[in-house]
Structure 1
């Protein structure tokens, strides 16, 4: 969707202005709500993100789901601008900052998985509505990287789950044809799911 830059700024400011305690409480509440929903119960390959600028922190989810799961982080694809691939987050992962200043795994022997190989992708967002439409940061990385889902409606994975603070919810978002809706959005107050 073509989003008013002032709206995007207002939503980003709202999440940044949450106190550290509110951020921690919201992350814990989202973790409890998501785990009790069963949406990721059988997922073995899960992508998450490192939060920046007030994004909801997915770390409690990862900590609760230790065990037979593999975790992946988005990385900018060097030879395909505007797209992401997902790299296994191993215990000895080395890090570097990408061109946006965001930490991402680096190194020659990274285990890379295309989005089609993931069961769940936990997606950051700037804004959302109750129909699981999403406003992202504006660069379109997730929409371009997951465009295959638009053409193949029978694909069951990856399931796209947005994590957000309730203060990021809007009454309605009018999506553009290239915008991908999420399967669900989880906040500290509610679980929103897209219709069948």
Structure 2
């Protein structure tokens, strides 16, 4: 393991501990504040298809965000592990009545059905859970590289989806070590802030 990998692994452990240490009240308050910040984004106002996720391991909860999207008649999806390429993700349509199963990591996901698969290029927004982030838009995930692989081709979409990282405020670090395969966020939203790290590449 390289020095950078060691630093990232240590950071991942520390930041996961921070978010799992939050009380139920703190998690609920964070979720309440997050939905207010996300839904006032101009990108949200224009979006018709939004990918969320089913929170796990102390991730900030998107339940209210998803309900808000449904109320506004927006299409929503969540990621599932690809059945054949098990290091990649597919995005499946998700509603309040979607049946769920546990994947190999014990995380809820929709039951896989081919008609429910929504191609990446049809998304306007991808909401991604973060383990850590910095104000330059760099993100630290769980270490499996699922989002990085799934989104590596997003720059070839025209227009491409906005990549919005979501996290608790306590998950911010001053300077995150970056790996060559990391896909950065266009926007990071926390309960207290909306961070636009750099000008977005719109090509």
User: TM over 0.5: same fold?
Assistant: yes
- Of residues 107, 116, 119, the one that matches 1:114 is 119
Which position in structure 2 is the counterpart of 1:160? Answer: 163
- The answer as to whether partners of 2:137 and 2:198 remain within 8 angstroms in 1 is no
Deviation at 1:176, TM superposition (A): 1.8
- The answer as to whether partners of 2:101 and 2:111 remain within 8 angstroms in 1 is yes
- The answer as to whether partners of 1:50 and 1:103 remain within 8 angstroms in 2 is yes
How far apart are the structure 1 equivalents of 2:95 and 2:198? Answer: 35
RMSD: 1.7
Q: Residue 43 in 1 paired to residue 47 in 2?
A: yes
How far apart are the structure 2 equivalents of 1:140 and 1:107? Answer: 21
- The answer as to whether partners of 2:120 and 2:154 remain within 8 angstroms in 1 is no
Deviation digits for residues 118-142 of structure 1 (CA, Å, limit 9, x no counterpart): 1111100100000111000000000
How far apart are the structure 2 equivalents of 1:107 and 1:184? Answer: 29
How far apart are the structure 2 equivalents of 1:181 and 1:51? Answer: 20
Q: Measured at CA, do residues 42 and 138 of structure 1 come closer, stay the same or move farther in structure 2, by a change above 3 Å? A: same
Q: Measured at CA, do residues 123 and 108 of structure 1 come closer, stay the same or move farther in structure 2, by a change above 3 Å? A: closer
Deviation at 1:64, TM superposition (A): 2.2
Deviation at 1:98, TM superposition (A): 0.7
How far apart are the structure 2 equivalents of 1:117 and 1:82? Answer: 22
Deviation at 1:174, TM superposition (A): 2.9
The 5 A counterparts of 1:177-188 are 177-188=180-191
- The answer as to whether partners of 1:94 and 1:107 remain within 8 angstroms in 2 is no
- The answer as to whether partners of 1:125 and 1:162 remain within 8 angstroms in 2 is yes
Any unmatched runs of 5+ in structure 2? none
Which position in structure 2 is the counterpart of 1:63? Answer: 67
How far apart are the structure 2 equivalents of 1:109 and 1:4? Answer: 36
Any unmatched runs of 5+ in structure 1? none
The 5 A counterparts of 1:75-90 are 75-90=80-95
How far apart are the structure 1 equivalents of 2:134 and 2:182? Answer: 13
Q: Measured at CA, do residues 84 and 31 of structure 1 come closer, stay the same or move farther in structure 2, by a change above 3 Å? A: same
SS in 1 for 2:33: helix
> How many pairs are equivalent?
194
How far apart are the structure 1 equivalents of 2:59 and 2:94? Answer: 19
